[in-house]
Amino acid sequence: MVERQSPLEPEYHVGSHGNFEHGVEILLTETRPGSIVQLAAWPGEEKKLIAAIRAVAGLALPDGAGGGLSDGAKSAFGFAPGKFTVADEAEGLAAAFARVVTPAIGTVTDLSHGRTAIRIAGPKAEWVLAKFFAIDFALPAFPVGAGRSTTHHDVFAQIQRTGTDQFDIYVFRSFARSFWKALCHASEEVGYEVQ
């Protein structure tokens, strides 16, 4: 398998940074999923698409806007009416969905090379993200598994909460390094570790 290059690489400095004398409160990683796929259902076909996600990824999405789920290896969440992002550690997800999501149901768009996935975890994850995005990160408003579409200075971002204090952020690959640098700066005050 060809090793995929990371757009973060020149700014990806493993180790502890910032104000970490009293411990690191943020962990930053690039999760590098093998597959990132966007699925969209034609009007009225949403239930069939959700069934396809269950069949291919084994994830039974909860009802409702932004509903999502992660099993550690695979993740899926709604980001718009009838539209879903699905990511997998393994490659080949787009081909697997293309076999099940027929043209009558909707569309499959392979974004594996178009998005960069950044994970922010730790007790100050909500605190740092609240400096970026004008949305409610509190657990009751943003439950584990759920997804949100929002923007940071015109950089479109999809965010999935994959743990009580863990979020996976999908940004355009071309903006990823700039976003990463901003995220590092924002994490300095609480001390962060890049893994």
Where does this chain bind other proteins (CB under 8 A)?
A: 43-44, 46, 64-66, 78-83, 134-136, 140-141, 148-151, 154, 156
Kindly tell me which of 54 and 188 has the beta carbon lying closer to other proteins: 54
Cα 192 from Cα 164, distance rounded (Å)? 18
**Distance in Å, CB of 82 to other proteins, minimum:** 6
Residue 132 or 192: the one with the smaller Cβ distance to other proteins is: 132
In the complex, least distance from residue 80 CB atom to other proteins, rounded to whole angstroms: 4
Nearer to other proteins, 1 or 134 (CB): 134
C-beta closer to other proteins: residue 124 or 152: 152
In sign, the C-alpha dihedral spanning 139, 79, 31, 133 is negative
Helical ranges in the chain per DSSP H:
46-57, 93-100, 125-130, 173-187
The Cα 166–Cα 163 span in angstroms is: 5
CA 132 to centroid of chain Cα atoms: 15
Q: Shortest gap between Cβ of 23 and other proteins (angstroms)? A: 32
Least separation in angstroms between CB 29 and other proteins: 26
**Residue 38 · residue 111 · CB < 8 Å:** yes
